[in-house]
Amino acid sequence: MGSPEHERGFDSARVAAVAPILQTGCRAAPAARCASFAWTHEMPMLDPGAKLQAMVDGYLKGNIDDGEDGVGWLHAQSPRMLVDIDGRRRSWWAPRSSELLECLRVSPQAPAAVKAAALFLAGADGNGRTRQAALQRMDALAGRLTLSSALLRCNDWVPEVRVVAQQVVEVLLSRCSIDDVLAAWPLAVRLQDAQRVDADWRRDTLEGWLSAPSQRAVLGGLLVHRDSLTRLSAHAIAFDVHPERVAIRARALRDSDPRIARMAFQDLLDEGDPSQVVEQCSIALTAPSSQVRASALRTLVAHEVEGIDVFVEDALFDRARAVRSLAAFLVRQRHATPAIELWRSALAQQTAGRWRVALEALADHAVAEDVALLRSLYPRVTARHRRNCVRGWIRAEGGAGLALLRVALEEPGRSIHELLTHAQADWVAELDAPRLLAFCHDGPSPVAQTGLLRLLPHVPLWQHLELLLDAVPQRQDERAWHLRLVENWLRVSEGYSPLSAARRQALLTRLEHGGHDLSNAMAQRLAEAVRQA
């Protein structure tokens, strides 16, 4: 049996490495702590700067691949990813250590990127004193990572850390480059919904700094930032303080984020003069946001601008249903040509740039007289547009009839089958035994036959069985098809369906006395299903 030291896993090398720490207490020599970390992670003897980078790589283990540059990886991460890394570093299972700060003290010549990465990781430590100490070093190393870390710590749960973080943010904003501020600013926007941040400080310091005339370049960069929430926050400030408000509003109306476009439109209504309202509403008619397009059309109609009839007619062919519906209402209100006539005309003439939208619009408003047009279009359009033909056909007839069913079931995709599944099944009343048997040889393809098998369970269960018993196949292909229909019924027969005693007895009598064209074995299976119902 070995010595107690041996049993605890000590060896002479480790004892030598930790000796300076044991001799000097918890405030051991920084170099000794770095040496201890290097031994623990089995690193060769390196200069302090290389050791610091190796420590950063070690802390990022699990995020980076073996041999990957952890410093470069950390600098390349998005604000959202930095939030995730920060949260993981502060998890209950994450190690708490001040080793990064200790090695920073003995690595003054380390590259700035390495020191910034080390400070970010130390600023996310689970120990509040370590986070505070890291923050106190950040003001001398202005950059994206240090500013991001300071912004994250403004919502720290330790009040003392928050105070230091606010002071560091103020210093870094004055020292960071514009690109660094733009890269880190989404984290400043994130503070709007934070629970522990000082709301007055955020408003007076962060938003106040961004509102200053000297920060126009930063504000301009944020207005076109890739993060939509950052753009939204920047526009809220720009509409209050920027001298080029009208031009900013015109661009914002076309922003891909509907919140920004709506904010710009509301600013137009609140602050724009009549000429600006008319001019920029015309621009807003082409905005990505359908709500903005509809609001702009409504505003132009209220102002009775010149050429409003053209604007309304163009809106009838808008890609959004809400805008088309508004335009159809305005057409009725102005006693102009009914919208449905314009949609029919565009379809009949195959008007370029309009007929596809006209087909979708007609599908929303089709009446009985449109069935012929929709039926003629069906074989001439792509699968995407055939769905609109079926949708309009169902609306025009008030349900799905057998003629529609025979056409639509030829489409292999699921979207049309879903329309048929949810439509009123008028075809059930039309489908008699001869038509059901003829489905295997009078035109429908195997695709349509499979589709019908999927739809038949929508027929009431006992009506479905009576239909199968009424069918008397005369041809070989009809017999094979009839067998598939019966097997299909057996698969769905386990579901509950009310069955009166009289109807049960009638079905059993037919099955037991041969009032059908089924084999005895199949008749017995059907009879057993009826008895168990």
- HEC profile of 444-487: CCHHHHHHHHHHHHHCCHHHHHHHHHHCCCCCHHHHHHHHHHHH
Instruction: Specify the DSSP class assigned to residue 176.
Output: S
Quick check: 49 pLDDT over 70?
A: yes
Tens of pLDDT, residues 91-128: 766 666 678 888 888 888 889 999 999 999 999 998 89
- Under 8 Å between Cβ of 56 and 111: no
Quick check: 9 pLDDT over 70?
A: no
User: Strand, helix or coil at 275?
Assistant: helix
pLDDT for the residue 29: 40
Quick check: 39 pLDDT over 60?
A: no
> What are the structure tokens assigned to 142, written together?
């202005």
Residue that is written with structure tokens 């309304």 in the block? 312
Tens of pLDDT, residues 459-487: 899 999 999 999 888 889 999 999 999 99
Tens of pLDDT, residues 153-179: 999 999 999 999 999 999 999 999 999
More confident residue, 218 or 533: 218
Q: Is residue 42 very low, low, confident or very high in pLDDT (cuts 50, 70, 90)?
A: very low
Q: Residue 167 burial (CB < 10 Å; 0-12/13-18/19+)?
A: middle
| CA–CA distance, 204 with 119 (Å, rounded to integer) | 27
**Predicted TM-score (pTM) above 0.85:** no
User: Strand, helix or coil at 61?
Assistant: strand
How far is C-alpha 79 from the chain's CA centre? 19
Quick check: 342 pLDDT over 50?
A: yes
pLDDT for the residue 96: 65
Q: Residue 482 burial (CB < 10 Å; 0-12/13-18/19+)?
A: buried
Question: How many CB atoms lie under 10 A from the CB of residue 148?
Answer: 26
